[in-house]
Amino acid sequence: MNIILLGPPGAGKGTQARKLEAERGMVQLSTGDMLRAAKTSGTEMGMKVAAIMDAGQLVTDEIVIGLIEEKLDARADNGGFIFDGFPRTLPQADALGELLERKGATLDAVIELQVNDEILVDRIVGRAREAAAAGEPVRADDNAESLRVRLMEYYKKTSPLIGYYWAKGDLVSVDGLGEIDTVAGEVAAVLDRS
């Protein structure tokens, strides 16, 4: 089973992906993690990624699709893939669809973790405050101003995917602001229906 988790920064995509990995044997493909790993891998693709990132440039869609293809080929014997952070744009969605088709794979569900932006910002800023008070590490961009900028980027670039996958009949929305286990139950229900 292959799925995409959609939702703004802080909606809980990573948390839900980890639960699916543990409970269903799926593999999370986080493009950020893949790029960081490729950069230090020493492979031909990794050296390309390192050169681009070291120059402060954005990695092309073609390279990201190439990294995803490597992961699909290397881990074909698992419970499926969770695409997290990819696709972010409509051309990336088309490229992913073409890649899956070429591999004889399907996209079984696109799950949107819906959130109320103001509640999300309050929740993340509150958690960051609690972590700081407890002496735990806090992301530098877990503040209201940075979160609003990240949300704006998400809505400008990624939210068109919601309509794209809805039109294809693949989109299911769940409340991303519920308790972690409640959200996980809703995600599981979507997967069990697919």
Taking only the tens place, the pLDDT of each residue in 3-16 is: 999 988 888 898 99
What pLDDT score does 113 carry?
94
Q: Give the pLDDT band of residue 180 (cuts 50, 70, 90).
A: very high
What letter represents residue 190's amino acid?
Answer: V
Residue 150 annotated as catalytic: yes
What pLDDT score does 79 carry?
80
What pLDDT score does 8 carry?
87
Residue 88 annotated as catalytic: yes
Q: Give the DSSP H or E segment for 52.
A: helix 44-54
What pLDDT score does 97 carry?
95
Task: Please list the residues that pair with 29 across neighbouring strands.
Answer: 83
User: What are the residues whose beta carbons fall under 8 Å from the beta carbon of 106, sequence distance 6 or more?
Assistant: 2, 100
Q: Which of 48, 139, 168, 193 is catalytic?
A: 139
Residue 13 annotated as catalytic: yes
What pLDDT score does 126 carry?
86
Mean pLDDT of 65-86: 84
Contact between 171 and 162 under an 8 Å Cβ cutoff? The reply is yes
DSSP single-letter state for residue 143: S
Radius of gyration (Cα) for the chain, nearest Å? 17
Task: Please list the residues that pair with 5 across neighbouring strands.
Answer: 84, 111
Q: Give the pLDDT band of residue 144 (cuts 50, 70, 90).
A: confident
Residue 129 annotated as catalytic: no
CB atoms within 10 A of CB 174: 21
- Model confidence at 147: pLDDT above 90: no
- Model confidence at 194: pLDDT above 80: no
Q: Which of 123, 127, 156, 193 is catalytic?
A: 127
What pLDDT score does 86 carry?
87
